[in-house]
Structure formats: structure tokens, C-alpha cells
Structure 1
Amino acid sequence: MPELTVGLLVISDTAAADHATDRAIDTLTAVIAEANAAADLAHASYEWLVDERRIVPDDKDKIQEKIREWCDVRQLSLVITTGGTGFGLRDVTPEAVGEMLDKTASGLVHGMLAASLRITPFAVMSRPVAGIRKHTVIITLPGSPKGAKENLESIIKLLPHACVQAAGGDSRSLHSGGVRQLEAEAGLTGSATPRTNSHDRHSHLHESGGISGDDSVRSHSHSHGCGHGHHAPTPRTKQPSDELLSNELSADVTRRHRSSPYPMISVAQAHKLIAENLPLPTIIRHKVSETLVGYILAEDVTAVESVPAFRASIVDGYAVLHTDGTGIYPVVSVSHAAAGESKVLSSGEIARITTGAPLPSGATAVVMVEDTRIAEKTEDGSEELRVEVLASGLENMENVREVGSDVRAGEVILRKGTQITAIGGEVGLLASVGVQQVNVYRKPVVGVLSTGDEVVYHDREGPLKLGEVRDSNRPTLLAAICARGFNAVDLSIAKDSAETLEETIKDALKSVDVIITTGGVSMGEKDLLKPTIERTFSGTIHFGRVAMKPGKPTTFATIPSASSVKPIFALPGNPASANVTFHLFVLPALRQLSGYRENAHLPTIPVTMEHDVPLDPRPEFHRAVVRVDRGGTLVARSTGGQRSSRIGSLQGANALLCLPATSEVGDKRTRIPRGDVVSALLIGELQSLDI
């Protein structure tokens, strides 16, 4: 779904001095959230994304500086200001904004004033302006939260068309259905004035440069077929419920679905469907070596040998018979921690011994070197001949490690389901007891495929042609898969051709266990993945839409193979969506296939927000950095703009904030305030505050 980006600018000396006094941002964010919810229910082909919120004083230069950044540099779809439109001496918003406009939009101003006048005659005391700067629509609202809400609500259903056309959309193609269709798509009841025929009204709008455009202009993503801001007629026949839901590959464009036939499910339901439909992990025999790290044991492992395998000294000192007591004794032998025979020790004799060395036969204890004194040396002074034992009351086997005191032969040392880690000592433990091979669950081989005519290799030389997009999804996912210890296979890029996609998947099924694709899962005529899975490979699509942000079109399917089934995860083309859904759905599946049991999902921890974070009508997985502050508290900060096409939102991120939908918040808040605790899914290593 294309995203229309919004900047909210509060213009107020009071709010700039104390942000806590501002009420406008919450109010306008709620209006936008409600508009998104209504658009989602109507299957609209756009979505508002509040990209940034700022408060500035009633200062003309500061107002223009922020608007210039949002319009000229960031190229937001819509800039909304609130405040500074009255008759006061400090009210300079209309002047600041008006001189920056390339085109004025008096119709939007009239619409806002007309709506307000129906409520209060004092609406005439506001001085709103509206228009376009470069590719951005700008509207100014009054400073009163109530007035700002009423003004924005009066035009917000018209603004998607305004923003899309300002971004360069083609008016003629988008008006092909006439004004009635435009009104229906916007959820409007139509004009109160007598209607001319639709052709005449369309001509009038077109000649006047009316409000329309192409949704796809603002969506810089890898996905395709996102729609063009309008819905085609409903198909004349309805598919029986037992037929496949995907489009016919050879069907005319006019006979394809205009809204997704796949039911919207929750994230929890998606996790359940994935877990229930994955094949069982397979077991292999693996050598005990450094390459064993990351595998999960498929059976209990017992010790082949005892550790230690002999009685060993735990200190440097002298092996003695503990019953001999104190006195001066001859040193008759030396026992080092090395293989070899040692002299049998008799009463009245001692042997020098090092830590870990075998206890000589006959010895019953070890006295520490600190509890002895040299009584006689050799003539050259290099060796002791006799040593005085100063310690009394030694116990039997004092300072001695018994055979098997660490591990006994036949004892279970590692349980089925244990992961072999790089730092946990499992490899060392296996090696120490003589285990040379173990049964483990095989790690799946994962293939990654990008799809789309517009997608080109990221390292291709030369500038991009119009409409081309460098492939960031495939390198990103391949890196993430390898970093998690799985074998990744680059399946390259498949163009939007049913034949090409079929051949690519057919070849992949021979060499990989799991296929990950990005793009081609929406509703466009070139979105061929679902019908190819179902109709060409007799696969099953377990779900095709998830109620979440980002990643709504995420699809999970299985294709039958000779042994069982092979999973396919069709992720959205937008880079951030693909990465988020990989960590949320694909990675737990790979871990389950590798033998993980209850802990297949990444850990979720409570974190404290360092700033306010907005809520969305859908549950959101917000990219963030989680750190440990100096007091030991886990704190979280957003990575910034969360557009699903913005791969930079994942730069440095080590967590996904699990934010509830606005409807799930009991007090109807539209944001999580600073200091509140939220759940965060850890996708990377924790950082300290100083990093």
C-alpha cells in the first residue's frame, strides 16, 4: 500500500517553550489514524504515515526553515501546520507559508472555512492558506485543537488525490472513471449541486487540473501492483468457496481481484499457522568440531569416558600417604601432568606432583607446596632430596580429584534440544568425554529470490533508468540468514513473467528447503507469486494478509515435495517490511526447522521509552535501538521515520517495538508517552548507553 507521508508542524510560542502544553499533535494524529482506519476498511490504495512532528515558535524564519526542509529535501506528501492563523501581532503563519507556495489551493481553503462556518460564525476570523510547494501539499489549520480537527476532517478524504497529483500523477488516466468514481473512492456522498453527466464533470475537472494522481508516485519500494488510487468494477461472478483464491495466471486484467480475497489475520494467528504447517526437522550425524556450533541436539548424549579418567592432584605439592603425618621425607619421584608411568609410593616416601597430574599408586593425599619446606638439596642445588611436611591431620584423598568426579562414563551430559553455542562450552564438554559424533537436527538451506521487472542488481554499473530500483532486499536477507548460522542460496532476480517465475521456483525446490521471495504479493496484474504457487505447483497458501504494520501482504505457503512440503515465505517488496517480517515470521520458522522447541521465537523484553511514540490503527513493529542506561534500565529510542520503503529505519536497530493498535489502548491514546514501558522484540545485541 503506497504511503503518503505527513509532517505536522505546531506553530506556537507557548508550546515551543513547554512542549507539554501542546494538544494539537495528539488531536491531528488521531484524525489521521481514523482516516487510515476508514481507508483500510474501504480497501483504499493509500495509507497516511506521520513522518515527523515538530513545534516551532511564531517566527517566520523558523516556520519557513522547517517547511523548506520537509518540501524541498524530504519531499513529504503533505505538510500540516496548526497555529498562527489569527489576527494577533505574532500570527505570521499565512504570510510565512503563502510566499513559499508555487501554486495556491483556494478550493481547500474554501472547504475548510465552509465546514467551520457551519459550526461558528467566528470561523471568518481565521486566515488559512493552502497550496503546493514543489511536490508537497501544504495546508494551514487554526491553533485551537477543536478548530484544527474540524478543518482537517472536512478535507482529509480529498487530500490523497491532492498529494498524489502534486507528486506527478497522470490526471487523464486517473479520471477515466469520472467524478462519481472519484467521490466513491474518497468515501464522499457527492456534491449538493445538480449533477451534469459524468463526462461533463470529468472534463471540467480535467481542464481545471483537478485533484487526482497516481498513488504509486510516492512509493519508493520493491513491490508492484499497488494500485492507482481507484477500484475497478466488482467481478460479475463470485468464486465458490472451495476454489482457489488467487487470480488465474492467464486471466484478463479486468477479471482479476480488486481487493484481496485472503482474510486478514492477526500476528498470533500467523505464527500458529506457520508452526502447524512446517515439516518436521530432519536428523543428521555431525562430527564434533567447531562447525557444530548452532546445531540442536536430536538426542541425549552420554559420556564415553569419565572425567577425570584417573585420580588427579588439584594443587601443586607432594603426593603422600595421609597417615604418615608431619616429618621429613625423601622425594622419590616426580608426577607431571603428562602421560607416563609413576613409581608406587610406599609409607615414608613422597613424590613431587603438579596440578592435574595423576596421583602415584599408593598415595592417598596431596600436601600443598605452601605446607612444606626443603630440608635437603642435591649438591648442585637444582633438586630437592628431602622435604619436610609441615601440615598435620591430612584426610584421605585430600586435594585429589577422584575418577569421574566431573563426569562419569555413561552419564547424560547434554539433553536432546540443547543448542551447541560458541561460548557455552558444549563442544569442549563433548570432546572431553570422548564423543566424536552426535545426532543433530539439520539446518535448512534457505533460498532468497527478488521479483519484479523494475528490480536491478544493487551493484550494476551506471545510473538507474526511470522506474528501476536497486535490489536491497536480497543482499539484506542473505546477510541476515548467514549471520544466524543458516546456509543461504542466492536465487537472483525473477522478472514479472509466469514462465520465468515457474522455472526459478522449480529449480530452487531442487536445492533449497525454504524459499523466501520479496515483492509480487499485492493485487497488481504482475503479482504472480500466489497464483504460481497454487496453480502451477499445487501449493497451499495458508495466509495472505496479516493485520500489522509494516508487512500487511506477507504470505506463507507450502509446496508438496517428494518427502513432505517445502515452505515459501512471500514477503512484501518494501525493504523495511521485508526485514521486519523476516525477523517476525521467517527466522522463528527456520529455528523450528532446526530443532528449536518452545524458544523458536526471538526474546521479547520490557523497555522504557525515551520519547513519545505514535500509535497506528494496526499493531506496529517499530524499529528501535534498545540500550542499557547507567542505572541498568533498558531504554528504547526510535530509529526515526518508519516508512516501509525506508531501509534506513533498520540501520542500527536491534529491536522491534511491539506497539498495540490504537483500538487496543484502553484510554484511546494515539501515542505511547515518554517513560512508558513497552515490549520489544530483540533482533540484535544490546548496547550500553555510551555506544
Structure 2
Amino acid sequence: MADSKLKVAILVISDTASRHPSTDKAANALAETFAADGGDRWNDPTSVIVPDNVLEIQRQILSWTDTEDYFNLVITTGGTGFAVKDNTPEAVSPLIHRHAPGLVHGMLAASLAVTPFAMMSRPVAGTRGRSLIITLPGSPKGAKENLQAVIKLLPHACIQAAGADSRAIHAGGVQKLEKEADISHSPGATAEDKPLQHDHHHHHHHHDHGYGHVVPKPHTSPSDRPQSNDPNAGPTRRYRESPYPMLSVEDALKVIAEQTPDPIIIEAPVDISLVGSVIAEDVYAAEAVPAYRASIVDGYAVIASLPTADKPGSTKGKFPVASVSHAQAMSMPPPLKPGEIARITTGAPLPENANAVVMVEDTVLISTTPDGSEEAVVEILTGAIKPGENVREAGSDVSLGSKILQKGDLVTAVGGEIGLLASTGTRTVKVFKKPHIGVLSTGDELVKHDDPSPLHGGQIRDSNRPSLLSCLTAWGFPAVDLGIAKDTPAGHLEQSLRDALRGTPSTPGVDIIITTGGVSMGELDLLKPTIERQLGGTIHFGRVSMKPGKPTTFATVPFKPAVSSTDPTAQPERETRLIFSLPGNPASALVTLNLFVLPSLNKATGLGVSSGTQQGSVHQPRLGLPLVTATLTQAIPLDPKRTEYHRAIVMASKDGVLLASSTGLGGPGAGAGQRSSRVGSLAGANALLVLEPGKGVVEKGTRVQALLMGTVVPE
């Protein structure tokens, strides 16, 4: 047994994953851990998914343990918390022949080093027959972390459980066993001296089933990814170099597209709140437009016939005015008899039998009624009026049942889409729900931009929040002001983020949090560790090869909505919330908002759902800023290492050529130029020039790509 590979089975316990297997991420995370940290001692794991049901859990475990072809190790993931449906310990405990409290303590100790919420987990471990059974949390990070805490000891435990000669195994003493297991131990070593085996993520242990907790796709091994700066360790223990790999802008956009949840369909009333929404299903006309035959001029409804070679048209002559048809009439006018005409206004319905309208300019009043209030007889001066002339037929604008909008159409502020829906009697329409966004600034140095007090010390006015909020509002996305969070390791920053996610009784929690500041390498840059440790989030990237905006950070956070007041027994499914942590410098914040946040908002809102085009690319015009080509009016220096998103003004020349001018180049006598903290470079800028890294300058007259942030102005 000691010389052969050990067999391992993974049991995923989740109602959601049993219905939708693609939502499970824990099994893959554990399989990757065996491959990376298992020391080539394990076969490829077998995995099965079952719902939160005691009998099904027990039935599957017994099929792996109570057989001649037994598995050495059975691992469960999910259902170890305090939620009503967390039944894993109750299902597994009766199956255990001999409990293994040491393994339980080891996993809890590893988790407690990361978060006090480890105390909320109820793990079970022990042997049944010749198999070892261990229960892990449902969170991919939590399950992986717990497994890494004990994985090097598991081969020894499994071999003994299978019946190996214990005396022979222990003949060399504990040091020999530690060496064989590749475990180093120094007496008196502290947790600070020897970190536990885990990666830079952390988790909560309450009712995690893996859904909403997305496993990252690292480019490095766990040993190469130290934890980010510990806010409790002080400046002497902070990292001098970022532990996050540098991603290209293209790769960062792909990650954002992958992690942004698919849009949610809601039914919304047809009013101005629809502006900026995307139609979620084809819309068909409930009424024809117009609903009746209507006049397109002011004049007289007549019964016209076609003129012939020997007979003039029937409309020329003097006719009594039988009735009046107004556009605001509540009912149809009476039928028109031969030899009569009816006065009619633009948009009014034609009387029955009428088939044409004579313009008032082609008539003369002959007489009025005795009291002079109405026309009595009118002469029509032309006989050339043809049937159908000056008449708008029923349904000629929009026919009943015709498709008026299709899935993926954007409801613009111009008003055409809302007008079309309203004119056809459409009262509600299905659209993709707009994400609810919160904007938070971080930093002790910040004061509100409208604070009347004079600045002192190192204070600066918070320009980022009003700037980002105005931009989001212009895009048509609802956003709330989350204020300023202080740079404190525990308390204010964490509480601000949690409050934003939870919401209040009168304000719903946000789907996306946008923060500025706190993402660099300073001792008070606490956003990354707060997201990882306190919120149980996943940092998908922490650096991007771009200028400005290098420390841009993107994370997902698992969030379980509050239990419904109408059904307290119903367990809401865990959802995913997004956090964009943008740099604190004003130019960097606005550039990265346009470059990274807008494509995510577009996808979440349903833009591009019907186009079938690839999403998540900087060159995708529908997801994010539109891309154009412009000619430089001046030479611009290149950054040798990073792609620069150069603030510029794009103008249209008289001959239709797009010209691009920098809003500031820097250099001698030119001030700060495009420096990331230079707010002035944003004023008037309507585009970002995409300048690839290189030597020297890109010459005047060169055609470059430009991402349009606003309207092109005339030269």
C-alpha cells in the first residue's frame, strides 16, 4: 500500500450544484490542491454531487467505504455551517467508527489564523473501516485551505487506516515521518515565523456550497503567492513588492467579463426610468398605429373617385359641410353620404365612407349657418383629388402584432424607443435589471469636496466620488454615495463595505462597489487585505500593465441575502458581488472607470446579448467605450514598458477626418502633463489614446486608436 498511489473521492454537498453542476467550483479546487500539494501520492480524484440530504450523503459515502474496492480517503465539501440545511456533520458522524479530533483541530487552527469565523464551522473527521473521512467547508477557498492544512499527513493516516504495520512505520521516529511527509518543524516556532499552508484567500465557514465563490485561475503556484499586506502586522512587515501578477489590459478585461454575473430579467413600466435599459425579449405591438384612418392635413374629408379621360374627378364643386372631425374627438364622426363633405383637422379620424382629404388651401367658403358659427357650404376648387390622398391608413406606421423592439435593443435618452412603446399601448416591458452601484472613497486625508472648512496639514478634497458618480449617472446607471472610509485596519473600512452590500430597510444593497484609493503598497493601503480576510473575497487581479492605473484591483465577494420575512425557513442562495478598487489619483480613477467598470456594467445590463460578438475586449465597441481611429496633431512620447491611455481631445475636421490632441504632454515648462494625479488633464478630454509601449515618440500625423469617452467636437 505504501508504494502505490492512494484513492480519493470528493463528495460535493449542495442543493444548487446538484441541480446545476456547472456552478460547483469546490471539486476542481480540491483536485488542483491534490495535484499541486499532494506529493504525487494520490490518484486523480473521483467526484460526485448530491443535495443537502442526510440519506443521500450517507448512501454515497457507504458506496465508497463499504466495498472491497474502497477509497482510502473520502472528502466532503459543503454543509458544515449553522444554516438550517447544513446536515453534513449529522450525516457523517454516525458513519464514523473512530473519530480523529486531531485532524479537526488542525483544520480549525489553520482557519482561525485567518478569520474568527472559523469557529462557526462544524467539521468531522475519522475512519470507517479502512477509509478516512474528512468534512470540509463548501467555499472553494475554505475547502482548499483546510485540505492544505492536513494534506501532507493524510497519506500516513490512510496507510495506517488501511491496515499497515504501525510499528514498522514508526520505527524511525517522528523526525523520520516528518521528513517523509516533507514537514519541517522547529521547536518553539511561532505562527509568525512559520505561516500555515494556505494561499492569500480566506473564507467564512457558514453554509458555503461553492456557488458564488469563484475559484481564481492563478498564474503561479501557492508557494509563490504570499498573502498581501497584513493590516495588523505594521509597516515593518508589509510587502516591498506586490504579490499580484501583472496582467495586460486585455487579460484584465477577460477576467472581468468572466466574473461579471449574467444579466437578470425584470418587468418594468414604460416610463422615463427605462432610459439606459436593454430590452430582454422581443416586443410586439399591442395596438396598431394609427388605430384608425386619419387625415394628415387640415381640410375636408370627401368621397373621391378616380378621374377618367372623359370625366373629371368627383370632388370639384360646391358641397354642404355635414360634420366636423377633430383630432381630440372622443368618438367617430357620423358616416359621410355622397354629395357631402366633413371638415377635418390633422390627425382626426375620417368619417365612414370618406376616402380622401382635400387641403383647406384648395377650398373657398361659400356660406355659413344662420348664426355664423359654422360653415354651411364650401367649394372645392380642384377635381384632381384621388382616393387615399392625404390619408394615413390604419396600421400604416405600426401594424398590429408587428415586432417593434427586439432583445438587446437599448432604450436611449432620445425618446424614440419609449415613444414607440407608448404609442402601441405597451404598459410594461421586460428588460435586463441595471446593477445597483455604490461609490466609496478611502483615506484619512480626504475631506468632502464641499466642506466649508479650510484644508490643513495633508488634507485633500475628495474629487473622486463626485467625479465618478457624475460619470455613472451620465451613463444611466443608478449609483449611491457611500461616503469616505478611514484607513483603519479593522472597523470603518470593513463596516463601510459590509453596510453597502447589506443595504438598509429603505435602500437595497449594492451589486457593485467602486472604491478609490488604498490599493497601492503603503502600510495604510488596506483594501486588498480587507476584501480577502474580512469579506472572504477573491482578488482576481491586483496590478495591470497600464498607465495610469497600474494598481487597479478587481475582486468578487460572496454575499448571502437576508432571510425573507415571509418565509424565514427559506435559505437564500449565495450571490456574487463585484468590487472595483480603483487608484486614488483622480486621472487614474476616471481612466480605469471608463476602461474596466463600464464594460462590466454593459454586460450586467445586457448590452450585446443579441450580437453574438465576443465580450470583454477593449476593441469591443458595445461593451465599454467605442473605438475609433484618429490622426495625431502632435508627437507624443511613449512609455517604454506599459500601454498608456493618454487623455486627449478628438475633433472632427471639416473634411471629416478625426484629429487627436493631447490635453497635456508634460516636459520642460509644460507642468505635470499626463501625470496620474493631474486633474487638469481630464478637463475637456473626450478620448483615451491607446499608445502601446515603445521607445521614443509616436510621430505627428500617425493614426492611433482612441477610446471615445464623450462627443466628438468640431475642429
TM-score by length of 2: 0.59
CA–CA distance in structure 1, aligned partners of residues 423 and 341 of structure 2: 30
The whole-number CA distance in structure 2 between the counterparts of 1:570 and 1:341 is: 63
Aligned to 1:250: 232
Change (3 A) 1:653 1:236: farther
The aligned residue for residue 581 of structure 1 is 592
Q: Which amino acid aligns with 2:285?
A: A
Of 452, 458, 471 in structure 1, the residue corresponding to residue 462 of structure 2 is: 471
Give 1:286-685 correspondences, 5 Å limit. 286-323=268-305, 324-339=314-329, 340-378=331-369, 383-392=374-383, 394-500=385-491, 501-510=493-502, 511-562=509-560, 563-597=574-608, 599-617=622-640, 618-640=642-664, 641-662=673-694, 670-685=696-711
Match of 1:207 in 2: none
- The alignment partner of 2:501 has SS state of helix
Does the residue aligned with 1:498 lie in a helix, a strand or coil? coil
Aligned-partner Cα distance in 1 for 2:441–2:227: 20
- Preserved contact between residue 302 and residue 315 of structure 2 (Cα < 8 Å): no
Corresponding residue of 2:117: none
Aligned equivalents of 2:473 and 2:375: distance in 1? 59
Q: CA deviation at 1:492?
A: 1.9
CA deviations on 1:520-566 (whole Å, 9 max, x unpaired) are 21223222211221222221111111111000110111001224211
In structure 2, the partner of 1:213 is none
Would you say the 8 A contact 1:279–1:564 is kept in 2?
no
The question of whether the paired residues in 1 share the 8 Å contact of 2:632 and 2:702 is answered with yes
Shift of 1:431: 1.2
CA distance in 1, matches of 2:392, 2:477: 41
Distance 1:288 1:239, change over 3 A: closer
Please list, as runs of the form range in 1=range in 2, the aligned pairs for 1:18-37 lying within 5 A after superposition: none
Aligned-pair CA distance for 1:265: 1.2
Query: What CA distance in whole angstroms lies between the structure 2 residues aligned with 1:656 and 1:553?
Result: 18
Contact 2:232 2:489 in 1 (8 A): no
Q: Which residue of 2 aligns with 1:181?
A: none
Matched residue SS, 1:268: helix
Could you tell me whether the CA contact under 8 Å between 1:311 and 1:401 is conserved in 2?
yes
Deviation string 1:586-634 (CA, Å, 9 cap, x unpaired) is 1222222222226121112222222111111211011112222334332
- Aligned counterparts of 1:443 and 1:579: Cα–Cα separation in 2: 21
Deviation (angstroms), 1:370? 3.6
Q: Distance in 2 between matches of 1:321 and 1:460?
A: 74
Change (3 A) 1:524 1:400: same
Please give the secondary structure, in 1, of the residue aligned with 2:480: strand
How many equivalent residue pairs?
449
How many angstroms apart in 2 are the aligned matches of 1:362 and 1:631?
55
Following TM superposition, by how much is the alpha carbon of 1:312 offset from its aligned partner in structure 2, in angstroms? Answer: 0.8
Alignment partner, residue 285 of structure 1: 267
Q: Deviations over 1:214-260 (max 9, x none)?
A: xxxxxxxxxxxxxxxxxxxxx99998723764324434645443212
Compared CA separation, residues 575 and 395, structure 1 to 2 (3 A) = same
Question: Hey, what's the Cα distance between the residues in 1 that align with 2:337 and 2:450?
Answer: 78
Cα deviations by residue, 1:470-529 (Å, 9 ceiling, x for unpaired): 322222222222232222222222222221222121111112111111122122322221
Gaps of 5+ in 2: 1-192, 200-220, 306-313, 503-508, 561-573, 614-621, 665-672
User: Is 1:283–1:440's contact at 8 Å kept on the other side of the alignment?
Assistant: yes
SS in 2 for 1:398: coil
Q: Which moved more, 1:317-326 or 1:621-630?
A: 317-326
Deviations 1:18-70 (A, max 9, x none): xxxxxxxxxxxxxxxxxxxxxxxxxxxxxxxxxxxxxxxxxxxxxxxxxxxxx
Match for residue 115 of structure 2?
none
The Cα offsets for residues 154-204 of structure 1, whole Å up to 9 and x where unpaired, read as xxxxxxxxxxxxxxxxxxxxxxxxxxxxxxxxxxxxxxxxxxxxxxxxxxx
Partner letter of residue 358 of structure 1? P
Q: CA separation in 1, counterparts of 2:237 and 2:711?
A: 49
Q: Are the aligned partners of 2:289 and 2:396 in contact in 1 as well (CA < 8 Å)? A: yes
Does the aligned pair in 2 maintain the 1:317–1:369 contact within 8 Å? yes
Q: Distance in 2 between matches of 1:319 and 1:462?
A: 73
Measure the CA separation in 1 of the matches of 2:526 and 2:288: 60
One-letter identity of the residue aligned with 1:633: V
* 1:686 is aligned to 2:709: no
Offset of 1:397 from its aligned partner? 2.5
Distance 1:407 1:674, change over 3 A: same
Partners of 1:447 and 1:438 lie apart in 2 by 26
Change (3 A) 1:362 1:463: closer
Return the alpha-carbon distance in structure 2 between the equivalents of residues 374 and 453 of structure 1.
Answer: 82
Deviation of the 1:673 alpha carbon: 1.8
Quick one: distance in 2 between partners of 1:341 and 1:464?
71
Correspondence list, 1:164-179, <5 A: none
The whole-number CA distance in structure 1 between the counterparts of 2:455 and 2:367 is 88
Superposed CA RMSD? 2.4
Partner of 1:265: 247
1:644-675 deviations in Å (ceiling 9; x for gaps) = 1111111121111111111xxxxx5x212222
Q: Which amino acid is the alignment partner of residue 605 of structure 1? A: V
- For each residue in 1:271-298, what CA deviation from the matched residue of structure 2 results, as whole angstroms up to 9, or x when unmatched? 1111110112223322222232222222
The alpha-carbon deviation at position 685 of structure 1 amounts to: 2.3
Letter in 2 for 1:643: R
Distance in structure 1 (CA, Å) of the matches to 2:237 and 2:391: 84
Q: Is the 8 A contact 2:279 2:409 kept in 1?
A: yes
Supply the distance in 2 between the matched residues of 1:358 and 1:470 (Cα, whole angstroms). Answer: 62
1:521 and 1:252 map into 2 onto residues whose CA distance is: 16
DSSP-derived class of the 2:429 partner: strand
For residues 530 and 396 of structure 1, do their structure 2 counterparts lie closer, same or farther at Cα, with a shift above 3 Å needed? same
